[in-house]
Structure 1
Amino acid sequence: MAYQATKAALRQLVAHRVVPGVSYAFVDGDCVESGVMGQAAWVPQVEPLRAGMTYDVASLTKVVGTLSVTLQLLAQGRLHLEDPVTIWLPAFRDSRVTIRHLLTHTSGITGYIPNRNQLTAADLTAALLGLHVGPTFNVKMVYADVNYIFMGWIIEAILGVPVQVAVQRRVLNPLGMTHSTFTPTDPLACIPTAVTATRGLVRGSVHDPKGYVLQRRCGSAGLFSTVADLVRFCQAYWHPEQFASVLPPTWVHRLIADWTPTGQDGRSLGWALTATQWPQAHRVLWHSGFTGTYLAIDPATQQAMVFLTNRVHPKAPNLPYLDQRNAVLGTYLAEKQGRR
């Protein structure tokens, strides 16, 4: 493997100080090429980036953790895509919204929560359940954390444990993702994220404000992981039959379909979809995290890219990163064609 153009694009992110550093892996079946570039931190002092460091992967929590448990429940018949959310969360009250809407971000759930980040967990829970359904319901994909926060609570209602406990037991442990956790014990092994007025330098604690309030009951963010563990997760997608209790094969193989109500929004269950042309036109799964993390998985060719940064260090939102991140993905998709 070489991926010289993609690695050059990653080096540009570091050289132009768009991000402090990058940890990456290119996966071609059983072959893995990984590496690091740049720094782990700029403040309070410059710190070298080391291989194997742990990242707050933010919204990758949705697809690695919450979606995986949801697929298990669907495969077991304990949950159905067309179930109204109100079956499990009666306080929500709008029976039009289904599990499919949550998983594809087509629920239309919206609304403003005053002082959201200062609320207690109980008050934030009540406020989220009190949100209304807007005009995008069932007709447009609008990405929103609330969908997977609700999914986490539904998982809790079915299994009787907080969603993050369920993910640890039912996904991370059985897949052997031994360095992945929701509760890091060594902050210095973690890549720091933002410096905030209220929390100072955030390191070894979830960056996402809602995740920080909800803790174990948050299904949208909170996972910490490493390149090696995420490579293991990607490779499990090649052969879900070998991990059937964790990644139900029937459902995993169907993830390349557009599951939105219109079938036109480029969204699967959990994953976003993009197209590649080699060896013939097909879809690739991808997802990003606010902190600067990214996964792209091509089940058809058994290829993947793991791309981890802390682009919110020392402060968010770092908008220039977004365009360059998308350019990196485009370069990777073009470069991987013909390598298998």
Structure 2
Amino acid sequence: MAPPLSRGTCPEAGLDAAEIARIVPGLRSVLEPPAPVPGAEPPATADHTTGPADGHPWCAGAVVLAGRGDVVALHEAVGWAVRYRAYDEHTGRGVELPAAERVPMRPGTVFDLASLTKLFTATAAVQQIEAGVLDPERPLVAYAPGLVADPRTTLRHLLTHTSGLRPELPLHELPDAAARAARLAAEQPLPPPGAQRTYSDLNLLLTQALLEHVTGRPLDRLIADGITTPLGMTSTRFAPPADWRPRIAATEDQRRPWGKLDRGMVHGTVHDENAYAMDGVAGHAGLFSTAWDLALFAHALLTGALPLHPGLGFETARPWFMGPLAGRGAIGHTGFTGTSIVLDPDSGAFLILLANTVHPVRHTQGSGPRARAAECLARALDQPRESVEAAVP
């Protein structure tokens, strides 16, 4: 059987080559920290909930992939997968490794996906909906008594972030899985379910608990058996083995007060503290993957090989990372470590941008480079179809 995706040219993908060619230089331009001003004080690090505001590049390195239909027209890497030994909180800058010890970013580099994991958990839930196992409108307590504190909460509330639950809880501070489950189940919604949207990790942790309860299988097996293995996503998994570490992009020098744990440079294990406490398998974070594997996932969603319900799990109309594609019906998601995916169901185009923006430390990163890459893809789609096709030999 022919592979679902192949590397090809922009004309073969129906994309304007000049616009796609702008993406990589744009990423190269954000790889270096701002130059220090002579005589100026070191950058402040007052807000350690997000990290330093300056003295830090947008990312150490990135992998970008763009395509349309069955053709991947762009798949390139820039910068470094591992650049820093540590973070110096006094200067607000990373302590760089010697050049010989740095690891360059490569197209096949594996990334901690962070919240892109939510898309896989949501897709696993939608698979159970389509199989008739779950009803998104049925109260969760009808499936699992005691799963949530408010008996009105449904799966749709979880997957649309309208459950009323707060964004997160310090579950990593609790001693074991039973204590974490009890704390999650006791959490009361702030507004009642359905009243407003508040993005929350807790929603996907509860989705994980529901899936595991109704199927009797752990989340990592559900995702492997139902999504990654059938699609041939061989570089996607929770809790990657030690021999994957040389292929994985490093994340953060995780220490208090900016981090919630004192772990040093995180490299090869999940960055998210709650997922780390759950042995790396969590509904909201924990998956590791490559840009090519995510392209396989995107293609499967766009072609119907996987069920796609855009309002369940996926973000919609988010120009801050989708650029102009947000106004065309695009869907997607971002991850705290610097990952993002954008799908345009109307054209069949997809954009994957994986960056280690938290290496060597979390910071107020913004999403300008993501939005600019999406803008290039939007313009590449907007060229007259005749002119693009004329370039095909």
State the TM-score bracket (shorter-chain normalisation). Answer: 0.7 to 0.9
Indicate if the aligned counterparts of 2:281 and 2:287 stay in contact, CA closer than 8 A. Answer: no
Match of 1:208 in 2: 272
CA contact (8 A) 1:111 1:131 kept: no
Question: Could you tell me how far 1:215 is from its partner in structure 2?
Answer: 2.9
Give yes or no for the alignment of 1:289 onto 2:306.
no
SS in 2 for 1:308: strand
* 2: CA distance, partners of 1:310 / 1:225: 13
TM superposition shift of 1:86: 1.7
Aligned position for 1:61: 117
Alignment of 1:67-78 (within 5 A): 67-78=122-133
Specify every segment of 5 or more residues in structure 2 that has no aligned partner in the other structure, as ranges: 1-9, 11-16, 34-56, 86-96, 256-261, 386-393
- 2:376 is aligned with 1:314: no
- The equivalent position to 2:370 in structure 1, one of 318, 325, 328, is 325
Contact 2:239 2:279 in 1 (8 A): no
Q: Are the equivalent residues in 1 in contact too, given 2:236–2:287 (CA < 8 A)? A: yes
CA distance in 2 between partners of 1:122 and 1:314 (Å):
33
Q: Aligned residue for 2:84?
A: 43
State the Cα distance separating 1:50 from its structure 2 match: 2.1
**Identical positions, percent:** 30
- Residue 24 of structure 2 contacts residue 76 of structure 2 at CA under 8 Å; is this kept in 1? no
Change in CA separation of 1:339 and 1:116 when aligned onto 2, cut-off 3 Å: farther
Instruction: Give the alignment's TM-score, normalised by structure 1.
Output: 0.86
Q: Which has the larger radius of gyration?
A: 2
- Structure 1 segments unaligned to the other structure (5+ residues): 256-267
Question: Counterparts of 2:133 and 2:294 in 1: how far apart (Å)?
Answer: 27
8 Å CA contact retained: 1:163, 1:216: no
- Bigger drift between 134-143 and 98-107 goes to 134-143
Partner SS for 1:129: helix
CA drift of 1:112 comes to: 7.5
> 1:12-41 deviations in whole A, cap 9, x for unaligned?
222452100010101121221200011112
Give the structure 1 partner of residue 23 of structure 2.
6
User: Residue in 2 aligned with 1:272?
Assistant: 315
Whichever residue aligns with residue 219 of structure 1, its letter is G
Answer whether contact 1:25 1:306 (CA < 8 A) is retained: yes
Quick one: distance in 2 between partners of 1:339 and 1:119?
57
**Distance 1:106-1:339 versus aligned 2 partners, 3 A rule:** farther
Give the Cα separation in 2 of the matches to 1:191 and 1:154: 32
User: Where does residue 80 of structure 1 map in the other structure?
Assistant: 135
Moved over 6 A (4+): 275-279
Please report the RMSD computed on the Cα atoms of aligned residues, expressed in angstroms: 2.4
TM-score, length basis structure 2: 0.75
Number of residue equivalences: 315
* Distance across 2 between alignment mates of 1:7 and 1:118: 41
